[in-house]
Amino acid sequence: MTTDGSRPGAPISAASDAKRVARKAARSAVALAAQSNHPQGRASDDVPELRLKELLDQVAEGQDLKRADVRRVLEEALNQIGSALGEGRDLSLPGLGKLKVKRATRKGDRRVIEARLRQDAAPEGRE
C-alpha cells in the first residue's frame, strides 16, 4: 500500500484521485478555519472576516492543490455543513471544534441559527 491508500503499480483512477484531493482540502480548510487571532473574548472590528476567496487561496497554497479542485470540495463541504446546521444537527469537526446549535428561527426567507462553538485551547505559542 502507498500513502494514498492505493496499491503500488495500480493505475490511479479519477475517482480515487478526487477523493484524495477532497480529503486533503477538507482537512486543510477545517484547520485554517479553526485558527484564531483572538482566543479570548470577541474578535475586534480591526480583524477582517475570513472570506471564501482567502480560504480557497490558503488551502490551495498550503496543500499544493489547484484552486479549482479546492473550490469544488470546499463548496460541497460548506453546503453539507449548512444543511446539517439547518436540520439542527450539532457538528464535531476536528480542527474547528464542537458546534452546538442553541436556537434556530426564521426571519422572512432566511434562517437564523444561534450556536456555540467550543474549541480546545491552543498550545503554548500559538495564541
pLDDT at position 11: 53
| Grid-cell match 482540502, residue found | 25
pLDDT at position 1: 46
Cell numbers at 86, concatenated: 439547518
d(CA 127, CA 122): 6
* Residue 127 in this model has a pLDDT that exceeds 60: no
d(CA 87, CA 107): 16
Q: Where are the beta strands (DSSP E) in the chain?
A: 91-93, 97-107, 110-118
Do you know the residue count of the chain? 127
pLDDT digits (tens, 9 = 90+) for 41-91: 555 667 889 999 999 999 999 999 999 999 999 999 999 999 999 899 999
pLDDT digits (tens, 9 = 90+) for 1-13: 444 454 555 555 6
d(CA 93, CA 77): 12
Task: Give the up-direction half-sphere exposure of residue 106: CA atoms within 13 A in the CB hemisphere.
Answer: 3
Domains and CATH numbers, the chain: 14-38+45-118 (4.10.520.10)
Please state the separation of Cα 39 from the chain's center in Å: 18
More confident residue, 26 or 86: 86
pLDDT at position 6: 47
More confident residue, 19 or 83: 83
Count Cβ atoms below 10 Å from residue 65 Cβ, excluding itself.
18
Sign of the Cα torsion 22, 62, 93, 89 reads: negative
Task: Give the predicted TM-score (pTM) of the model.
Answer: 0.61
Range with lowest mean pLDDT among 10-19, 20-29, 103-112: 10-19
Confirm if 80 and 72 have CB atoms less than 8 A apart. Answer: no
